[in-house]
Amino acid sequence: MQKKVVVVGHGMVGHRFVEALRARDDRGEWAVTVLCEEKEAAYDRVALSSYVNTWDPKELALAGNDYPDDVNVDVRLSATGVKIDRTARTVTTSTGETLSYDKLVLATGSYAFVPPVPGKDSRNCFVYRTLDDLDKIKAAAETAAAGNGVGVVVGGGLLGLEAANALKLLGLTPHVVELAPRLMPLQVDEGGGALLKNLVTDLGLTIHTGVSTAAINEKEDGSLTVELSNGETIDAALLVFSAGVRPRDELARTAGLDVGERGGVITGLECQTSDPDVYAIGEVAAIEGRCYGLVGPGYASAEVVADRLLGGEAEFPGADLSTKLKLLGVDVASFGDAFAQTPGALEVVFSNPAAGTYAKIVVSDDAKTLLGGILVGDASSYATLRPMVGRELPGDPAAMIAPAGGSVEIGAGALPDDAQICSCNAVTKGDICGAIADGACDIAAVKGCTNAGTSCGGCLPLVKKLLADSGVELSKALCECFAHSRAELFQIVQSTGIRTFSKLIDKHGDGSRGCDICKPTVASILASTSSDHILEGEQASLQDTNDHFLANLQKNGTYSVVPRMPGGEVTADQLIVIGQVAKEFDLYVKVTGGQRIDMFGARVEQLPAIWKRLVEAGMESGHAYGKSLRTVKSCVGSSWCRYGQQDSVKMAVDLEKRYRGLRSPHKLKLAVSGCARECAEARGKDVGVIATEKGWNLYVGGNGGQTPRHAELLAGDLDDATLVRYIDRYLMFYIRTADRLQRTAPWQESLEGGLDYLKKVICEDSLGIADELEAAMERHVAGYKDEWAGVLEDPQKLSRFVSFVNAPAEPDPLVQFAESDGRKIPVTLGMPAMPETATTGVK
């Protein structure tokens, strides 16, 4: 006779239990009834913040959460357990049903903790835990009191920063209040927390650490005044509690099951409660007295119970509490003994605030064994460091986290077979290599065989390395949403005429909502293949922060304005207007290294008024915010200089006007020098032109930045027309074939044959595409329109430029400035001073 198991709770862990049991139960021994409290079946709660992008619950749904065609699984939505009768072995549901069971699995998870703050029940106070919570927050944000677009988040841990990100995406200005002296106190140390605070502050958050919420006062219009323990007050439209979670053990308590002193249903390593017919998994389970709030340990407990119900003897293997995540675009990771609690442990630290990175590894007292670590800003080494915890390092510990050029690199081959690659699903290197040996020849196949990378995805870089080391030719797919490379997507867009991201991903991708890799990449491709305005229709939603407002976001939430000055030329009247605008809007003015003027400190609602003045004076967008042509720098050339051999100013002006607005995989900088003295520094640019007695020398692939490259000579002594043709071909070939965010220098180095190959393509037309490349450039030139002029002509586009969606005329009260040595500087509230020099050493 078929036995019955009732699962109370259908979150990620409850779903994993059902999947694991059904995958093993070949004989159909168990009939499963699942009680799901929410109206939606199991969804990816880890990715809850992404719900703000689509407001479509289906986008977060876990694969197979409705168990299609499985007659042995019955999911009851909007129903939960309210009473357990352990003697009768029944569960009474919230819908009034009584379900009998042979075994009961509690997967009730946790609830959001709300501190006992006076006013916590005010109507615009919320928690951040479910899709329904986010729907309520969205409604409150849309109807928030006029003139107040501030949202307060109580809690600066992982969930608190996720909630702050959601508020930011809703158009609110987030404040985060954290009782601990740093953000994410359970994951990062003091140094990492200080850098994290700086990084998220630069992204528009205001951080209050070392303080608590003393009281919440509700006004008649529903807005709030939040009092902090240090006496500070914050006027807010709404408040979100995200101060941690507590196990949802009330059902177990009323049933008389043993619970922990600090909550949670007590179980042994077999995840069995004090009643042998009742198990507990996930966040509600206090396994040997300890609750785990991560999905990895939850999945492990689900696997244990599935095995036990089928006669196995599995036990909870312990928990890897390592975490890797991206918060508001900032990488954060911690693993192993991150806080050096092992006796004699040494800390090796490399901190570079200027680059926005912090790395620490913890090693044994003899500096040979890796114990743990913390990474902030750049977590690229997490995938290889975490599996090495407890193992001997292959070299100097400091070199493991040193910046590029360090002498030690841990390869996948250095890891033993029992090294755990995927901590979420307990998948070892041996498991993955075994799957590859059995024919798994790509990421999708490895995922299907082993479950590696199916949860947080932090292990995927190492999985790719294992595939490569096994001789598998890896896909050049842009991301998991598209099987195509950027260059292939460019060709698809160009040949099919597709003009929207949604149509492209439906026809040539996986049909999902896309990700933060493919969205801006496709936006760039669409802009490179058309003269459509980047804020037109669906394309507007694909843009990043800078392109979203056609301006560069600065550290205190203001924007900079950079009008184009082709070749560095500007008229006296235009300079006067720039001065008038700077004075009227109280902007800080600086001449840039690209021979133009940058005005800092403009609030978002001021941008249209500023640009109206500039456009009327004959100026246009300098595209300082875009992955496009920035500047064409020049010296005065033969017009004024006695050494000049050609008119470098005219050539620079012509080139800048020709390529202005040209969207590309990365920013582009050009320069024209009037003689070999190179006053325009042309060989440090993506395209450099240097005058000779006979014409122009053309150099390509020069970059500044972190890895400077000198441009290489492509062709010499060119006349004007040939020079322009070659540059047209070079730029269009780069735009078509480069990877996302790839500068011209690494792109050239990646080409088989390098510069010699480029000479054949560009100068000799070896591929027979020269006419096509030139025609594409001519279409760009003919279709160019100033982006800011386009905004000023369109009321719908103008409506985007507001600090608060519910109070368009109100400025952001948090934007503040100070004066230092006679200079206007931004003030970022709550940001601590950071040392300017990078430090490294062993503490």
412-423 tens-digit pLDDT: 666 777 777 776
- Closest listed residue to residue 525, CA positions, set 488, 481, 477, 480: 488
Residue 840 has pLDDT above 80, yes or no: no
Residue 438 has pLDDT above 60, yes or no: yes
Percent share of the chain, pLDDT over 90: 50
- CATH fold of the domain at 125-244: FAD/NAD(P)-binding domain (3.50.50)
Residues contributing to the annotated binding site for siroheme: 679
Identity of the amino acid at 117: V
Tokens standing for residue 834: 């950071």
Identity of the amino acid at 62: L
Tokens standing for residue 818: 């100070």
What Å distances lie between residue 775 and 530, 533, 661, CA to CA? 13, 20, 17
pLDDT of 427: 83
- Ramachandran quadrant class, 8 (left: phi over 0; alpha: psi -120 to 50; beta: rest): beta
Segment 638-663 mean pLDDT: 93
Beta bridge partners of 697: 690
- CATH fold of the domain at 412-474: Arc Repressor Mutant, subunit A (1.10.10)
Please report which confidence band the pLDDT of residue 593 belongs to, taking 50, 70 and 90 as the band edges. confident
Segment 206-214 mean pLDDT: 94
Residue 232 has pLDDT above 50, yes or no: yes
Superfamily of segment(s) 547-626: Sulfite Reductase Hemoprotein;Domain 2 (3.90.480.10)
Residue 608 has pLDDT above 60, yes or no: yes
The residue behind tokens 């193992």 is: 391
Report whether 22 contacts 73 (CB < 8 A): yes
Superfamily of segment(s) 627-784: Sulfite Reductase Hemoprotein, domain 1 (3.30.413.10)
- Closest listed residue to residue 162, CA positions, set 249, 280, 245: 245
* DSSP conformational letter for 538: G
Residue 337 has pLDDT above 80, yes or no: yes
Percent share of the chain, pLDDT over 70: 92
Segment 154-166 mean pLDDT: 88
Identity of the amino acid at 287: I
Tokens standing for residue 274: 């004090």
Residues contributing to the annotated binding site for [4Fe-4S] cluster: 635, 641, 675, 679
Report domain extents, the chain.
Answer: 3-112+247-309, 125-244, 412-474, 486-543, 547-626, 627-784
Which residue has better confidence, 210 or 820?
Answer: 210
32-46, 235-249, 496-510, 812-826: least confident range = 812-826
What Å distances lie between residue 513 and 122, 158, 163, 503, CA to CA? 35, 24, 20, 11
Residue 522 has pLDDT above 50, yes or no: yes
Segment 35-50 mean pLDDT: 89
Distance CA 268, CA 266 (A): 7
What Å distances lie between residue 218 and 120, 148, 225, 236, 237, CA to CA? 10, 14, 7, 10, 10
Class of domain 3-112+247-309: alpha beta
Distance CA 551, CA 660 (A): 16
Q: What confidence tens digit (pLDDT) does each residue in 720-772 have?
A: 999 999 999 999 999 999 988 889 988 998 888 889 999 999 999 999 999 99
pLDDT of 100: 97
* Secondary structure class of 256 (helix, strand, coil): coil
Which residue has better confidence, 800 or 214?
Answer: 214
Segment 56-70 mean pLDDT: 88
Q: What confidence tens digit (pLDDT) does each residue in 181-195 have?
A: 999 888 888 988 898
What Å distances lie between residue 685 and 636, 680, 715, 716, CA to CA? 18, 10, 16, 17
Distance CA 236, CA 813 (A): 12
Please report which confidence band the pLDDT of residue 829 belongs to, taking 50, 70 and 90 as the band edges. very low
Residue 89 has pLDDT above 60, yes or no: yes
198-202, 462-466, 706-710, 838-842: range with highest mean pLDDT: 198-202
Residue 475 has pLDDT above 80, yes or no: no
308-312, 394-398, 482-486, 589-593: least confident range = 394-398
Please report which confidence band the pLDDT of residue 275 belongs to, taking 50, 70 and 90 as the band edges. very high
Distance CA 232, CA 228 (A): 5
Mean of the per-residue pLDDT values of the chain:
87
Report whether 384 contacts 469 (CB < 8 A): no
Is-same-fold flag (3-112+247-309; 412-474)? no
Please report which confidence band the pLDDT of residue 479 belongs to, taking 50, 70 and 90 as the band edges. confident
Segment 272-289 mean pLDDT: 96
Distance CA 525, CA 491 (A): 9
pLDDT of 839: 36
Q: What confidence tens digit (pLDDT) does each residue in 344-358 have?
A: 999 988 888 777 888
Which residue has better confidence, 142 or 160?
Answer: 160
Residues contributing to the annotated binding site: 635, 641, 675, 679
pLDDT of 810: 59
Distance CA 214, CA 229 (A): 5
Segment 804-808 mean pLDDT: 51
pLDDT of 408: 47
Segment 362-383 mean pLDDT: 86
Report whether 486 contacts 518 (CB < 8 A): no
Please report which confidence band the pLDDT of residue 216 belongs to, taking 50, 70 and 90 as the band edges. very high
362-371, 391-400, 822-831: least confident range = 822-831
